[in-house]
Structure 1
Amino acid sequence: MFDIMVVFPYYKPLLEGLFTTLWVSLLSIFMGFFLGLGLCSLRNAQSSALRGMTRIYISFFRGTPLLVQLAIIFYFLPLIDIFIPSVIAAVMALSMNTGAFQAEILRGGFRGLPKGQLEACWTCGLTQNQTYWHIQLPQVIKMTLPALVNETIDIIKNSALISTIAVVDLMRIAQTYSSTTYRPLEFFMAAGILYLLLTVLVSFIGKKIEYKLSNL
């Protein structure tokens, strides 16, 4: 018989796993954002070789399962004598994955900027870097914020896969105690509720930020 109360004695490990899921996901999104900016810039590089390699990178990470990417990073690096903790491998894989998606999101934002804006900035005496960081990028973030929030939610949900490389996240905790207590339904239900609460919180914060930016 289903009894959710069997989960409550294990609430501390579940919350610790939730915290791991949260910080790994947010760190990956943060690192992926700057990676996405770099990839977005390389898509417009003068070198055709750089543009081609960037397209291949983005196509690979957008077109292959995250589980495959995790396995490649976690199991391939030791073959070339590079040994890293599983949690670092998880952050690397998630960052590289979301960087590819965020690059396309940001590229769409940059393409939506008024074409005459660059000329206006040059006329005002702004340098290319000043124009990029102080004029263009804030507008792009404002335009693409809903998509970036959705990407954050996707990464939080997809982070459940990092349990496959022995990261002690929320899903790993749920798997462990569901096996030891023989109550998988209750523990996976509890994990699902915690994931839902986390994604709803991220969505709420994103909407608050979007509302404030729209009133600036």
Structure 2
Amino acid sequence: MKPEVILHSFGYLTQAAATTVAVSFAGILFGFMIGAAVCAARVSRRVWLKRVGAAYVSVFRGVPLLVQLLFIYYFLAKYGLDVPAIVAAVGGLALSSAAFQAEILRGALNAVPRGQGEAATALGFGPLDIWRRILLPQALRISVPPLINEFILLLKASSLVSVVGIAELTRVSMNIASQTYRPFEAYVGGGLFYLAINLCFAALGGLAERRLAAGSGQ
């Protein structure tokens, strides 16, 4: 092993790591927005909304992310919709993650005791106030650990966006390997960056979880 290969490529790997984090963060953020809407549909009293939400979750959890990315980037272009690579990458990650986040949020809502909503109704709270002040804060607190886990999984899955030409960690590691003929060092370097990023976000997630628990008095 030649550590100097990793040291020489450190700058390129750092830039690629920044791209990986940015794409992943955008994917998780937009995925949360879509997932919240899908979750609302899943818990709605309207049957057709429940079915739409369930169909979305089934499709985007059942189809591999790689297939989704290829569909957005290549298939849509065939019919005149030329999607930029970065839009395809973020969109694919967001649509896929939204299905998982929707189920995380739905599970968190179901974990909140129903009696709290009934008690709030008896005290004169309106439906919007019940959601805003009672149900959502508790559901978000419950969902923090699985959402952090989903972000870490999405960050690792972001390696697939290399298929649409995004210069993230995996693509740059492959380029370094092909240029230096030292694949072991190139992929070890990329792997170490993935590990460092995931450990940082796991630590931040643990800190957020502890603060939320302290704020709730638990």
State the TM-score bracket (shorter-chain normalisation). Answer: over 0.9
Name the counterpart of 1:71.
70
Structure 2 segments unaligned to the other structure (5+ residues): none
| Distance in 2 of aligned mates of 1:134 and 1:89 | 36
Name the counterpart of 1:141.
140
| Distance in 2 of aligned mates of 1:71 and 1:134 | 41
Name the counterpart of 2:57.
58
| Distance in 1 of aligned mates of 2:133 and 2:2 | 55
Name the counterpart of 1:181.
180
C-alpha displacement at 1:105, in angstroms?
Answer: 0.7
- 2:208 maps to a residue whose letter is I
Name the counterpart of 1:192.
191
C-alpha displacement at 1:12, in angstroms?
Answer: 1.4
Name the counterpart of 1:212.
211
Percent identity between the two aligned chains: 35
Superposition RMSD in Å = 1.3
Name the counterpart of 1:43.
42
Kindly indicate whether the alpha-carbon contact (under 8 Å) linking 2:141 and 2:209 is maintained by their aligned counterparts in 1.
yes
Q: How many residues align?
A: 215
Name the counterpart of 1:130.
129
| Distance in 1 of aligned mates of 2:44 and 2:79 | 31
Kindly indicate whether the alpha-carbon contact (under 8 Å) linking 2:43 and 2:106 is maintained by their aligned counterparts in 1.
no
Structure 1 segments unaligned to the other structure (5+ residues): none
C-alpha displacement at 1:202, in angstroms?
Answer: 0.5
| Distance in 2 of aligned mates of 1:189 and 1:143 | 35
Name the counterpart of 1:81.
80
Q: TM-score, normalised by structure 2?
A: 0.94
1:8 aligns with 2:3: no
1:106 aligns with 2:89: no
Name the counterpart of 1:33.
32
C-alpha displacement at 1:117, in angstroms?
Answer: 1.5
| Distance in 1 of aligned mates of 2:46 and 2:118 | 23
Q: TM-score, normalised by structure 1?
A: 0.95
- 1:72 maps to a residue whose letter is F
| Distance in 1 of aligned mates of 2:9 and 2:62 | 38
| Distance in 2 of aligned mates of 1:114 and 1:49 | 26
- 1:23 maps to a residue whose letter is A
